């Protein structure tokens, strides 16, 4: 399949919304910045709405934040756009041979190490807020 870019796109969408309070950006405006189709943006809107991060106005259009940027971490955003299965870094082949000592135990044995690695990654994402990202963008600007 293609590389999954929903997470970084979601971050970019939230930055655009946070930085443009006056003219609330529409899916068309955002799609231009991300270089994709407006429908792709609207699909991510749905995830961000469900997570309680934004509100989207029908009819007139536009979006705004429901939380302050310092209340949203990168991990929160990650969870909003990818379910637990998708967030798992390491996957197992299906149908491991249960008659084989290795095949029947490897998944259980590796699960521990994999969980630790996954948690370490996620804890780093928890350390960074949307506000941190926005500040960096302003500095670089």
Q: Which is nearer to DNA, 1 or 101 (CB)?
A: 1
Query: Minimum distance between the CB of residue 20 and DNA, rounded to whole angstroms?
Result: 12
Within 62-101, the residues that bind DNA by CB under 7 A are: 62-63, 86, 93
52 binds, among DNA, a copy of itself, none (CB under 5 to 8 A by kind): none
C-alpha span between 14 and 88 (Å, rounded): 23
Report the alpha-carbon distance of residue 43 to residue 6 in Å, rounded.
10
| Interactions with DNA, residue window 12-51 (CB under 7 A) | 26-28, 35-40, 42-43, 45-46, 49
Give the nearer residue to DNA in terms of CB position, either 27 or 129: 27
Note whether 36 and 73 are within 8 A (CB): no
- Distance, in Å, from the CA atom of 76 to the CA atom of 130, rounded to the nearest integer, reads 10
Please count the residues of the chain: 141
Comparison of 16 and 65: residue with beta carbon closer to a copy of itself? 16
Lookup result for tokens 């960096």: 136
Query: What does the alpha-carbon distance between residue 8 and residue 125 come to, in Å, rounded to a whole number?
Result: 12
Query: CB within 8 A of 90, min separation 6: which ones?
Result: 110, 114, 117, 118
Stretch that binds DNA, among 55-63, 68-76, 102-110, 120-128 (CB under 7 A): 55-63
* Contacts to a copy of itself by CB under 8 A: 1-5, 7-9, 11-12, 15-16, 19, 32-36, 74, 89-97, 100-103, 105-110, 112-113, 116-118, 120-125, 127-128, 132-133, 136-137, 140-141
């Amino acid at each position: 399949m293609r590389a999954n870019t929903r997470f970084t796109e979601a971050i970019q969408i939230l930055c655009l919304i946070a930085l443009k309070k006056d003219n609330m950006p529409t899916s068309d405006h955002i799609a231009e910045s991300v270089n994709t189709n407006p429908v792709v943006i609207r699909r991510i809107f749905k995830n961000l709405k469900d997570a309680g991060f934004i509100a989207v106005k029908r009819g007139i259009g536009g979006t705004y934040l429901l939380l302050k940027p310092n209340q949203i971490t990168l991990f929160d955003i990650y969870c909003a756009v990818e379910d637990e299965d998708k967030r798992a870094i390491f996957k197992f082949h299906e149908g491991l041979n249960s008659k084989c000592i290795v095949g029947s135990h490897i998944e259980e044995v590796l699960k521990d190490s994999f969980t630790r690695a996954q948690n370490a990654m996620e804890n780093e994402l928890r350390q960074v807020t949307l506000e941190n990202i926005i500040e960096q963008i302003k500095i670089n600007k």
